[in-house]
Amino acid sequence: MNKDFAFYTIPFSLDPFDNEAFKNAGIDFYVTLTNVDSGQAEYVKITDVFAQMETLRATSAMPFVSKPVEINGQKYLDSGIADSIPLGQCQTLGYDKIIVILTRPLDYRKKPSGHFLIDAFYRNKPALANKLKNRYLEYNQRIEEIIRLNERQEIFVIRPSKTLPIHRLEKDPNKIRAMYDLGISDAKQALGKLREYLLIT
């Protein structure tokens, strides 16, 4: 993937991002990164999109297929390794209304990754390798927690209503469009209950 095109040419030139409006919005915006050395999640507040573009790029640096992104001398990868659904951090920050948007249907659970591949790629990063090996357990535990909290109306969850055949690095524009349209449809279906949730005191 062309990082310069995706993270610099598009937002700076082809489809300019309104960075001033973002900075003046008065809304906190955090991203999650995985520290390659510690294997732990780090949470960074974005205050200037253009100045912190490398931090945003790190949030999409997938293991195995992407090079780690270096920020202030430390290397980072996609947050999905250490904390793919940072519900706990939102709770720590004190938000009383939390909306969780999932990319998988209700019945989806992660399966273990191949240890051989992990060890081959990250044998010199034992903490990261260990996190990758146990990622499915942590993800599945978090999903069960989300289901419980959603049933108690302590959080609000929007998730796909069905599974579509699409890959992380999907190139078929028809499949990408179908996933986009499903997201729009599911969000519209959830709006009424979302409004009710936001009015709960």
Q: Is the pLDDT of residue 170 over 90?
A: no
Please give the share of the chain, as a percent, with pLDDT higher than 90.
82
Q: Kindly give the residue spans of alpha helices, DSSP state H, lying in 62-125.
A: 80-83, 87-92, 115-122
Q: Considering only CA atoms, which of 128, 153, 120 is closest in space to residue 38?
A: 128
Which residues face 76 on adjacent strands?
35, 69
- d(Cα 22, Cα 16) in Å, to the nearest integer? 12
Q: What is d(CA 114, CA 78) in angstroms, rounded to the nearest whole number?
A: 18
Q: What is the dihedral of CA 199, 140, 114, 170, to 10 degrees?
A: -30
Above 80 in pLDDT, residue 201?
A: no
Q: Which two tokens stand for residue 66?
A: 């992407």
Q: Which residues lie below 8 Å from residue 128, measured CB to CB, with a gap of 6+?
A: 34, 36, 37, 39, 77, 81, 122
User: Tell me, what amino acid is at 150?
Assistant: N
35 - beta bridge partners? 76
Q: Of the spans 43-47, 108-112, 117-121, which averages the highest pLDDT?
A: 43-47
pLDDT score of 114:
82
Task: Look up the pTM and report it.
Answer: 0.88
At 200 the pLDDT is 79
pLDDT value of residue 115: 87
Q: Is the pLDDT of residue 169 over 90?
A: no
Instruction: Judge contact between 105 and 90, C-beta under 8 A.
Output: no
